[in-house]
Amino acid sequence: MLILILMIGSLVGTKAQNDKSHIPNDLEEAVKSLDKLISDEDKSELRKMNEDEYLAATHFGIGRYIRNEWGLWRDSNLSKYFRHRGIKHPDDMSGEILRAYYKFICQSTWNDIDLLIGTYGEHLYVYNLNCQTLEFTLKAKAEAKNASYALAELGQIFAVSEVGKGSGAYSFQMGEDSVSDDANGGMTVQLTADRRQTGADPCFVMHYAEQYLGAYMMTADYSGGSVSVFPIRNGQIGERVEQICFEGSGPVEGRQESSHIHQLKAVPNAEGYILASDLGADVIRLLKTGKGEGTSEVPGTLKLTHIEDIECPAGSGPRHMEFSADGRMLYCIAELSGEVLAYKVSGKKKPAFKLVQRIQADEVNAGGSADIHMHPSGQWLYTSHRLENDGISIFKVLKDGKLEKIGYAHTGRHPRNFMITPDGKLLLVACRDERSIQVFRIEPDGTLTQTQSTLIFDEDMPSSVTTIQL
């Protein structure tokens, strides 16, 4: 068996070199990347072992490849990810990846997963989804006004409250040390920090870790046309240390009168670069991280510098972005024109972006395109569309990175954010005006089939749904 595992490790290394895969940025990416490199036959062999046997056997084969090729002995983004989480030695880092991958291939993680749901309303929710029966179970909820977007990482929840000039950012702590017989179930979610002031109407939050400066939360402030930066210290959001404001406008009346920052995205193969989509100005802002002076509360902190703008077609309204599996393509869903804008990415020290394709996703010109996500396999891309003909567009990713539209699936009213389960089998979409989370099965050809499973809310209107990370 050991010989077999060593052979698998060797094959993994050969395939990765042939594919010229980039180094993953975090644990979730590492699991997805490893899954692409191991054949179905080899996965079957790995499943035959118990977890202890698997970890002992894979340490020297697959584990050696992970440590050497993914820069765990160096300052790769992946090694920084683990060090910021208190895991210092490469052996321990690769062990965490191997352990997560074993759960992945045995599907013990994805048989039931926890979901974080943000709403236009009064609450955030944590639900469990049984991926076999497709049953939802409420585990927790917390008060948060118009928490239109939220993310979970390291046992914490970060959310933005979209309420005009009084908008703010929250941090919550998840715990399972108390039992309740009320609707919140056995998990408690408690506010662990005062709400911090952001720019007006933040609509997106991103977690960012820098090796020497620590962990941060960044918000995309829609009405404010700004990006706000907050340190995370002891699980709490600190005083804002940076706010970079933008100016600009576009030709669409009533929608592009000023800068509207909608999403933030780290560039995978260029360390320290972040993209900010500006719906109001028809550009994607390229930002560079660095060391700033900080505040009295947090001296010496993260600073953002606006490097340049990536031009988008006039009146397109760039909203959300997604990278290809290898980081060599950037896809942006344009809210106003309903197109997917595909950019070829080049350059190592400083990324460069070239527009190579415009393909229509919304064919009724509703001006309400919303979200975009890549399938874990890298084979398909999905986009959501609102206001008219509500639904999800489906694209096949061609060998050159360009897209071919292959289908459309209708949803409930006003689909906003959506997510794909880590095993690539289910797509969940937050339908705001339907007050529901709908569940679709992803077929082997990438198309979608709606299931009978729907989570319905009495008052709150779901705006975002995401998996609570490994």
- State the pLDDT at residue 112: 81
CB atoms within 10 A of CB 112: 14
423 versus 279: the higher-pLDDT residue is 279
What is the rounded distance in angstroms from the CA atom of residue 23 to the CA atom of residue 377?
16
How far, CA to CA in Å, does 329 sit from each of 26, 117, 127, 322? 19, 29, 33, 9
What is the rounded distance in angstroms from the CA atom of residue 315 to the CA atom of residue 355?
16
- Indicate the pLDDT class of residue 54, thresholds 50, 70 and 90: confident
Mean pLDDT of the chain: 85
- Is the pLDDT at 182 greater than 60? The verdict is no
Residue-by-residue DSSP string for 89-104: SHHHHHHHHHHHHHHH
- State the pLDDT at residue 7: 45
- State the pLDDT at residue 102: 82
- Is the pLDDT at 6 greater than 50? The verdict is no
Ramachandran class of 156: left when φ > 0, alpha when ψ lies in -120 to 50, beta otherwise: beta
Q: b/e per residue, 376-398, with b = 16+ CB within 10 A?
A: beeebbbbbbbeeebbbbbbebe
Nearest Cα to Cα of residue 421 among 451, 400, 390: 451
The average pLDDT across 48-63 equals 82
- State the pLDDT at residue 297: 58
The average pLDDT across 118-140 equals 93
The average pLDDT across 51-67 equals 84
Residue-by-residue DSSP string for 205-237: EEEEEETTTEEEEEEEETTTTEEEEEEEETTEE
- Is the pLDDT at 108 greater than 60? The verdict is no
The average pLDDT across 241-245 equals 92
What residues are paired with 424 via a beta bridge? none
- Indicate the pLDDT class of residue 430, thresholds 50, 70 and 90: very high
Structure tokens at 212: 């020497």
469 versus 408: the higher-pLDDT residue is 408
What is the rounded distance in angstroms from the CA atom of residue 229 to the CA atom of residue 328?
27
CB 466 within 8 A of CB 116: yes
CB 157 within 8 A of CB 140: no
Most confident of 241-245, 265-269, 401-405, 420-424: 401-405
What is the rounded distance in angstroms from the CA atom of residue 178 to the CA atom of residue 243?
38
Q: Where are the domains of the chain?
A: 2-106, 112-467
What is the rounded distance in angstroms from the CA atom of residue 263 to the CA atom of residue 222?
9
- Indicate the pLDDT class of residue 257, thresholds 50, 70 and 90: very high
Chain centroid, CA 354 distance in Å? 23
What is the rounded distance in angstroms from the CA atom of residue 64 to the CA atom of residue 97?
12
- Indicate the pLDDT class of residue 110, thresholds 50, 70 and 90: low
- Indicate the pLDDT class of residue 44, thresholds 50, 70 and 90: confident
- State the pLDDT at residue 231: 87
The average pLDDT across 179-193 equals 43
- Is the pLDDT at 179 greater than 50? The verdict is no
240 versus 390: the higher-pLDDT residue is 390
Q: Helix, strand, or coil here: 312?
A: coil
Query: Which residues 6+ apart lie within 8 Å of 321 measured at CB?
Result: 263, 265, 275, 277, 284, 330, 331, 332, 333, 372
Task: Please tell me the least confidently modeled range out of 5-9, 306-310, 459-463.
Answer: 5-9
What is the rounded distance in angstroms from the CA atom of residue 81 to the CA atom of residue 218?
17
What is the amino acid identity at position 439?
Answer: V
- Indicate the pLDDT class of residue 195, thresholds 50, 70 and 90: low
- Indicate the pLDDT class of residue 250, thresholds 50, 70 and 90: very high
- Radius of gyration (Cα) for the chain, nearest Å? 21
- Indicate the pLDDT class of residue 325, thresholds 50, 70 and 90: confident
CB 124 within 8 A of CB 162: no
Q: Determine the topology of domain 112-467 in CATH.
A: Methylamine Dehydrogenase; Chain H (2.130.10)
